[in-house]
Amino acid sequence: MKTLVIAEKPDMGRTIAAVIEPKAKNNRSYLEGDHYIITWAIGHLLGLAEPDAYDVKYKRWNFGDLPILPEAFKIVPNPRTIEQLKIIGDVAKRCDAIVNACDAGREGQYIFALIQQQLGLNQPVKRLWISDLTAESIAKGFDGLHDSSEFENLTMAARARSEADWLIGMNASRAFTTKHRTLLSVGRVQTPVLALIYDRQKEIESFDSLSYYEIKAEFEQTGRKYIGTWQGDRLTDGEKAKALADKVRGREGMISEYDVKDTKEYPYKLYDLTLLQREANAKYGYSAKKTLDLAQALYEKHKVISYPRTSSNYVTEQNIDGMHKTLHMLKSTSYKELAEGASPGLVHVNNKSVCNPTRVEDHHAILPTLKRGANLSADEQNIYDLVIRRFLSHFYPPAEYKQHTVLTLIEEETFKTNMKELLSLGWKVCQPGDDSNKSSGRSKKKDEEEDTEELVSEPIQIDKDQPVLCLEAEAKEKATQPPKAFTEGTLLRAMESAGKQLENEELRDAMKDAGLGTPATRAATIERLKNVGYITMQGKRIIVTQKGRMAIELIRHAGVELLTSPEMTGQWERRLYQISKGEAAREKFMDNVKKFTLSIIDKVRIQPKADASLFETEEEEKSKSKGSRGNSTSTKQGKSTGDSSGSTPRPRASNTKDSTTKASSAPGVLTPLAPCPRENCGGQLIEGRKGFGCTHYKQGCGFVIWKEFSGKKISEAMLRTLLEKGQTQLLSFKDPEGDFKARIVLANRVTGQLELQKTDG
């Protein structure tokens, strides 16, 4: 009998096989050698079943059927990857031991646990727990396999997270959707993240800008010129500001105070995933999801970085030797100059800014591996470059400066000057092209109006005892600025630190290491908000849609504002961590989640129904109307509805009296119209306000047929004809170049894309 190794993804499985069974036979879905059979999941092969798996009545979304509280949760295979699940089951029959080689973390543990449960695998299990996929790490990991019992608590925490999310998501989404007749997606992470964006946008919209005046003066002393800013209460009177500038211009004064001190700036922390996503967004405009995908490819496909889904910025003692070896490897790459200029002695076990085992849980910070980066795409190279330069920076000394603070007194008016004299770049040689002044301004956010700082490389020579001449003075009108809209980078930072602004000191302290989601799930949360139509992007700025506004307002007005607060999800993550460490009971946690679920249903039940018009702006209506005028033979459905984002709207409950009569037999019910034509989907099509969409949108089905196409309204009868015959009967269309006849054709049974097929006549 052989040992079965189950990796999380194909690339990981093949990489492991190359180390433990280099001569293994490739059978496409698994590799087999003398001692091991290596196969893999493809991410999540299984998930929690939809409500209708417990009772067929749940196929119809009916408020009266809530809450849905399964006694035991059922799991179902993902129809798109069910063949791989069967293969794992088949090869397992020929093995008497199993190695869980899924990602070393809560989700990797959960993926394996569901496979084990579904297939009834009862062989003894060992756990491979490694942070990168280098041959050295894999070999070392197999030499020191862990017993699976060490991770039972982590598995319980993973199950609790998944089942609790199901209870809140399924019940709250159905409650708000059936109550307000518009599909409203609710989740314990996505909803408070949406609330963060909503609250920031409300701040921006309600911001009342105030005008004020800033007075800058140019001074000269023995040939040396410098700029100072007037110190005093904020001036809002333009005439007074101009008079003050006139008062000092051309006058001689003195230096009332002059302070010089040496300062050092140390390298920024090693990357965790969130920090990498933030910087990639700021520097390259990459979305959080794109950065995660690129980092995952660098880890899985190219093996040039360590496990990226980490929340740690530090390493352990065991990583130090590997870091030194990687530094040596980089001397034979395009980073040769930086690597040769580095000082290996700066990275050691006593350097707490790098090596801090108490701050490393499942995974250490993102590090480059011993494998050279080759054949990387341009985007992959950008992410790899960030990791390499951050890594190298810790082998360099701190940047050194002299900080000069000058107070200049002219006609009894005081002007302040901050100058930073560069003595040594230190680690900043690893950051070419960065604005050094910007890089050094980490503390400036403490006070938005702190005086600007001039960075100079030449020596500053100012004599405190010599007079100073004011060459010029000018009063400039300024305006207070509103808070900035979130970008994906700044939103990630807000998600990471969520809860720290809570007034309750005890709770704030309890949440100091918690946030909204985990590094591995934050990108998916942002994408989810886009996909359900709650947010949209304007360049790099995140904007809340009207639907997103209404979702937050309805939830808060229902009296379940805890759903919109980081408080709840922070408490959950903390409790899940305690469960994973055996410090809290899973059963108690789930009981509390069920009680909260019941309270949501009770409060939504008595909430007044929202008017349908509140979910859509005038601009959206105009866009829909304008976009429905398509007339080309190759008109695509996305374009015909003015959907420039390319995202797939989700099915919604009907809003008009007519459509309610057709689509439901009772208030708050969504009636299936036809099976989803997407192969192996298993969902049902329901009528929304703009189209007919699939109930399995949460599982990733993007099938939707819009109600308007090329000036024609798609009725239920036309929908059924399209699904059964693939095309409608011959229809008449108007066109400025001449009317024509055509059929509407279902061109894509996966997306629901429609096209026009003109007749020859």
Q: What confidence tens digit (pLDDT) does each residue in 31-62 have?
A: 999 999 999 998 789 999 999 999 999 999 99
pLDDT of 501: 63
SS (H, E, C) 297-331: HHHHCCCCECCCCCCCCCECHHHHHHHHHHHHHHC
What domains are there in the chain, each with its CATH number?
2-144 (3.40.50.140), 161-206+484-613 (1.10.460.10), 211-266+399-432+450-479 (2.70.20.10), 273-394 (1.10.290.10), 672-758 (no CATH)
Query: What confidence tier does 435 reach under pLDDT thresholds 50, 70, 90?
Result: very low
Q: Which has more pLDDT, 224 or 660?
A: 224
**CA separation for the pair 21, 333 (Å, rounded):** 30
Query: What confidence tier does 500 reach under pLDDT thresholds 50, 70, 90?
Result: low
Residue 569: pLDDT above 90?
no
- Least confident segment among 242-251, 345-354, 416-425, 573-582: 573-582
* Residues in contact with 595: Cβ distance below 8 Å, sequence separation at least 6, in sequence order: none
> Any long-range contacts for 53-59 (C-beta under 8 Å, 24+ apart)?
59/672, 59/684, 59/695
Q: What does the radius of gyration of the chain's CA atoms come to, in whole angstroms?
A: 31
Q: Mean pLDDT over residues 193-216, rounded?
A: 93
Q: What confidence tens digit (pLDDT) does each residue in 709-734 have?
A: 888 888 888 888 888 888 888 888 77
**CA separation for the pair 181, 609 (Å, rounded):** 8
**CA separation for the pair 355, 87 (Å, rounded):** 42
Angle subtended by helix axes 586-605 and 152-180, to nearest 10:
0
Residue 82: pLDDT above 70?
yes
Q: Mean pLDDT over residues 327-356, rounded?
A: 96
Tally of CB atoms within 10 A around 265: 17
Query: What confidence tier does 694 reach under pLDDT thresholds 50, 70, 90?
Result: confident
pLDDT of 736: 67
Q: Nearest 10 degrees: CA dihedral of 151, 157, 162, 163? A: 120
Residue 634: pLDDT above 80?
no
Sign (positive or negative) of CA dihedral 276, 279, 280, 285: positive
Percent of the chain with pLDDT over 90: 62
DSSP state of 574: H
Residue 446: pLDDT above 70?
no
pLDDT of 516: 83
Query: What confidence tier does 509 reach under pLDDT thresholds 50, 70, 90?
Result: low
Angle at 585 between CA 581 and CA 591, to 5 degrees: 140
DSSP state of 124: -
Nearest to 166 by CA among 547, 561, 579, 698: 698
Q: Which has more pLDDT, 438 or 127?
A: 127
Q: Mean pLDDT over residues 243-268, rounded?
A: 96
Angle at 626 between CA 625 and CA 628, to 5 degrees: 70
Query: What confidence tier does 490 reach under pLDDT thresholds 50, 70, 90?
Result: very high
Query: What confidence tier does 381 reach under pLDDT thresholds 50, 70, 90?
Result: very high
Cα dist from 94 to 41, 91, 101, 243, 603, whole Å: 18, 6, 18, 91, 54
**CA separation for the pair 45, 432 (Å, rounded):** 44
Nearest to 688 by CA among 704, 667, 711: 704
Angle subtended by helix axes 522-531 and 273-284, to nearest 10:
50
Q: Mean pLDDT over residues 79-97, rounded?
A: 95
Q: What confidence tens digit (pLDDT) does each residue in 137-160 have?
A: 899 999 999 999 999 999 999 999
Nearest to 175 by CA among 606, 549, 663, 656: 606
* Residues in contact with 501: Cβ distance below 8 Å, sequence separation at least 6, in sequence order: 508
Q: What is the mean pLDDT of the chain?
A: 86
Q: Mean pLDDT over residues 565-590, rounded?
A: 88
**CA separation for the pair 530, 287 (Å, rounded):** 12
Nearest to 153 by CA among 544, 585, 466, 545: 585
Find how far residue 82's CA is from the centre of its chain.
28
DSSP state of 191: H
Q: Could you give phi then psi for residue 370, rounded to 5 degrees?
A: -80, -5
pLDDT of 433: 65
Residue 481: pLDDT above 60?
yes
Q: Is 112 within 8 Å of 130 (Cβ atoms)?
A: no
**CA separation for the pair 383, 279 (Å, rounded):** 10
Q: Which has more pLDDT, 200 or 437?
A: 200
Q: Which has more pLDDT, 191 or 666?
A: 191
Q: What confidence tens digit (pLDDT) does each residue in 147-197 have?
A: 999 999 999 999 999 999 999 999 999 999 999 989 999 998 999 999 999
Query: What confidence tier does 286 reach under pLDDT thresholds 50, 70, 90?
Result: very high
Q: Which SS3 state, helix, strand or coil, does residue 206 take? A: helix
Active site residues: 307
pLDDT of 321: 93
Length of the chain, in residues: 761
HSE-CB for 752 with a 13 A CA cutoff:
25
Sequential DSSP letters for 194-223: HHHHHHHHHHHHH----EEEEEEEEEEETT
Nearest to 416 by CA among 235, 246, 216, 213: 216
pLDDT of 665: 35
Structure-token pair, residue 486 = 């979130």
pLDDT of 618: 46
Nearest to 637 by CA among 753, 758, 723, 757: 753
pLDDT of 732: 81
Q: Is 648 within 8 Å of 530 (Cβ atoms)?
A: no
**CA separation for the pair 575, 48 (Å, rounded):** 21
Residue type, 726: G
Query: What confidence tier does 698 reach under pLDDT thresholds 50, 70, 90?
Result: low
Sequential DSSP letters for 343-358: -GGGSSTT-TTTB-GG
